[in-house]
Amino acid sequence: MIAKNTRLVAMKDRKVFSPESGLSRQVLAYSNQLMLVRHMMEEGWVGARHSHPHEQLVYIVSGHIRFTDDEATFDARTGDSFVVPGGVEHQACAIEASEVLDVFTPCREDYVEKG
């Protein structure tokens, strides 16, 4: 299902699922090199500390999250954005209910729906 040509990906047609309690994920448009993912976090959600080889661009659509990596901890609110370099161990938590758009490069094969 990786795009080879320009095509519309309608949000209403993309499945929302919960990979963990308090977090919902919706994989939107993607190609071999880019992936757009919508995350919805319930207030109080605390994500597992993790890393991945992908560069990640984060945009806060709404809400308030706290982000921590090895060098800093900061709060990001509606309209804020930041970059997470590949290979950096990091963690996020939702101070209030939040919606976040993440862009990954290259595509996160582990997020691609199988079948």
Note the CATH architecture for domain 23-111. Answer: Sandwich (2.60)
Q: What is the pLDDT along the chain (115 residues), one digit of tens a residue?
A: 555 678 899 999 999 999 999 999 999 999 999 999 999 999 999 999 999 999 999 999 999 999 999 999 999 999 999 999 999 999 999 999 999 999 999 999 999 975 3
Please give the pLDDT value at position 113.
75
Please give the pLDDT value at position 57.
98
Gap between the terminal Cα atoms of the chain: 9
Domain limits, the chain: 23-111
- Asked whether the whole model's pTM tops 0.85, one would answer yes
Q: Which of 52, 51, 47 is nearest to 23 (CA)?
A: 47
